[in-house]
Amino acid sequence: MMTTETMTSTATVVSDAPAAGFRDTLASEWIKLTTLRSTYITLGLGVTLSIAMTALVSLAVGSIDDESVAGFGPIMWSLVGNLFALTISAVFGVMAVSGEYSSGMTQLTLTATPKRGRVFWAKLALLTPVTLVFGLVTVLGMFFVGQAVFGASGLPNADLGDPDAQLTVLGTAALMPVFPVIGMALGVILRNTAGAITSVLALLWLPAFLVGFFPPWWQANVFSLLPGAGVDSLVLSHINDEPMYSDPAIGAAIVITWVAAFIGAAYVSLVRRDA
């Protein structure tokens, strides 16, 4: 049986223990992220499928005759595998948080770290560089594989020293975290993996399917304000003229606004709602 002196001593030790700071929360989130097999499987699958798709499409394009190559763009064609990279990275962003709600880990995390905002910012601080590295590896891999196939097939190819290639390739890699961050935010807001994945993929791909059914005015004034169009305006407008593409400065403002809005909504949701 604990005596009064023992209880007082224990309370003193607990009260004297240093409070967990942001670095501790960051370390905890890093451990959770890196000890999950799904992290390596998802990102590894994204890299593999993206580069493989680019290689297959490049081989197919390389087999066409010279007359069909009019207007051929080696930069754009070498990044066709980005369809997989964007999709898988967006799903990864959702999974980085939504799985914890179904497993009950969120309740434990927020009990250990009552300052919920700290948990949110730690997750965001990890997701962004992880998906940035994923984007850099994937996009560079696609570009070099695609150009190698085009060169071997006798087609025009591009070099990374070309300013257009640099802007497109490095810009695409640098903006890879945009939809994973939006996916993470939706995971926090919806607290449901299927719902969050459906929402982020709809935001990512649905405009591309619908835009052809609308007149140019809608493309220039409605669809151009969506986050995907903002990203494309930053990295593709210099090599591809589309009604949906805005001036790069406007594209940057669109992307920042959307990302900030989702982050803000997710932060408020996490801080104010019950776990």
Q: Express each pLDDT in 57-74 by its tens digit.
A: 999 887 875 545 556 788
Residue type, 88: I
pLDDT over threshold 70, residue 9: no
Q: How far is CA 128 from CA 32, 94, 137, in A?
A: 16, 13, 14
Structure tokens that stand for 245 in this block: 């593409």
pLDDT over threshold 90, residue 103: no
Task: Give the span between the Cα atoms of 73 and 163, in whole angstroms.
Answer: 14
Structure tokens that stand for 34 in this block: 């890196």
Q: Express each pLDDT in 124-151 by its tens digit.
A: 999 999 999 999 999 999 999 999 999 8
For position 93, what pLDDT does the model report? Answer: 95
Structure tokens that stand for 258 in this block: 């959307």
Residue 93 vs residue 67, higher pLDDT:
93
| Low-confidence winner among 13-22, 37-46, 102-111, 225-234 (lowest mean pLDDT) | 13-22
Residue 10 vs residue 258, higher pLDDT:
258
Q: How far is CA 151 from CA 66, 93, 107, 158, 227, in A?
A: 14, 36, 54, 9, 34
CB atoms within 10 A of CB 75: 22
pLDDT band at 1 (very low <50, low <70, confident <90, very high): very low
- DSSP reduced 3-state for 211: helix
